[in-house]
Amino acid sequence: MPKKETKFDVIISGAGPAGSACATFLARKGIKVLVLDKARFPRDKTCGDAISGKSVSVIRELGLEKEIEKNYHAKIYGVTLSSPNGNMFTVDIPERQGLKSYGYCARREVFDNIVFQTASKEKNVTIMQRTQVTGLRIEGNVVKGITATSLENNEALEFDAKIVVGADGAHSPVASALGVNKVENEHYCTAVRAYYEGIGGLTDKIEIHFIDEVMPGYFWIFPLENGMANVGVGMLFSDLKKRNINLKHAMHNAMHNNALFKKRFANAKQAGEIKGWTLPLGSKRRKLAFNGAVLLGDAGSLIDPFSGEGVGNALTSAKLAAPVIEKALRTNDFSENTFKEYEENVWKELGPELETSYKMQRLGRYKWLLNFTIGKAARKKELRDLIAHSLVQEGAMKNLVSPLGLIRMFFL
Ligand SMILES: Cc1cc2nc3c(=O)[nH]c(=O)nc-3n(C[C@H](O)[C@H](O)[C@H](O)COP(=O)(O)OP(=O)(O)OC[C@H]3O[C@@H](n4cnc5c(N)ncnc54)[C@H](O)[C@@H]3O)c2cc1C
């Protein structure tokens, strides 16, 4: 990029899945974009590395599935769930149109780099890595650009933009500058994870275990390539504070002392350090549309409050933002009113699911209910089928946690 080029139609802060996918969607519509990221890719992102069916559908739209299959990944065909009293059951993701459905587990260092490289190959995309966004240039109440610092030479930088896209993650500087990044303990989760090799009994299913050590919360084992696995635990900020839990200790305790896992972890070796990070949850709706700016992914607090899944929602928000940004450029109208269409589309597409997940998160606080439901599903195929169906059919989970759905579950 010539050094003096400082004016852009669209500037995206953050080149994670949300930012890189949005850049690709825009570039393919012929829109020129500048993407800034403080990291240099490939970079790690602390995560469980589960790439759900929802992510897969956007990945397919971007044409990335083959690239993912060429790189390290595990294909995931189902879920194993267990309750605090040790009840356990496994469901396959039901087939769609006679074909086996699956998701992936892929290290974010690998997955994000694929999405990033795809964006950077687009001729309309200019990338600046190792460039930290420090704030917004706001005139009146309209976003006019961003300020940044080069991490290579400490140079202070300023760029003008018609539209700024905040896709810069859980601690988004763009969301902070817009005044919407307030941490609320009931709507933020923290989680830690580490990689392991040599865990016994890994399958092609992800494992979610509701265990006493991290109630309410869960312990996960997500299989990766070559017998490796991503293992972690997560809990709400508010519960961590109340129970005064150290997540790293809780995770070790679960692996080495819980009857379900101690044999499986007897010969397991940790590869790399345990890392933790924050999850801004979609249980509280954050404002996503501003005069001259929009927020995507974690910057928009879009993580599923029950499962902790955020990649699919980040990719979906990118996909929904692109046509509205295109329209704003076409009509030369960068007002909050224009970008409200994006915000409304996000809540239309993701809102019902986020609300259902919030209900499930609250129901998941009741140990007896988890013991009962998971115990019953372990015995009854009809309930397992109902849960499997709810996992994949959009909107179906809502029926499962509705009063009627709960009654049905009791009497199945
Ligand atoms: C422990 C843990 C486990 C999780 N497990 C899962 C899981 O298994 N499956 C799942 O779907 N989701 C999971 N999530 C959530 C998921 O990681 C996020 O929802 C997802 O990464 C959001 O993507 P994003 O593009 O919005 O943000 P990010 O992936 O966080 O990308 C943001 C980008 O912005 C850049 N950036 C940040 N600040 C600046 C700045 N000042 N200037 C310039 N660039 C900046 C960063 O370098 C980064 O590249 C987990 C989260 C945690 C913490």
User: Whole-angstrom Cα distance, residue 195 to residue 1?
Assistant: 38
Specify whether the backbone of 198 is left (phi greater than 0), alpha (psi in -120 to 50) or beta.
left
**Contact between residue 57 and residue 354 where contact means Cβ atoms under 8 Å apart:** no
Phi, psi of 286 (to 5 degrees): -95, 145
What does the pLDDT read at residue 2?
Answer: 46
Nearest Cα to 8, choosing from 128, 167, 139, 168? 128
Which residues of the chain, if any, have pLDDT below 50? Answer: 2
Residues with CB under 6 A from ligand 1: 13-19, 36-39, 45-50, 52, 132-133, 167-169, 173, 191, 193, 232, 277, 279, 297-299, 303, 308-312, 314
Hey, whose CA ends up nearest to atom 52 of ligand 1?
A: 47
What does the pLDDT read at residue 402?
Answer: 62
What does the pLDDT read at residue 350?
Answer: 95
Give the nearest ligand 1 atom to 234 CA.
1
Residue by residue, DSSP assigns 23-67 as: HHHHHTTT--EEEE-SS-SS----S--EE-HHHHHHHHHHT-HHH
Domains of the chain: 7-66+107-183+282-358 (3.50.50.60), 185-277 (3.30.9.10)
What does the pLDDT read at residue 388?
Answer: 75
What does the pLDDT read at residue 392?
Answer: 60
Report how far ligand 1's centroid is from the alpha carbon of 132 (Å): 15
Q: What is the pTM of this model?
A: 0.95
Residue with tokens 């050590």: 213
What does the pLDDT read at residue 53?
Answer: 83
pLDDT in tens, 196-225: 999 999 999 999 999 999 999 999 999 999
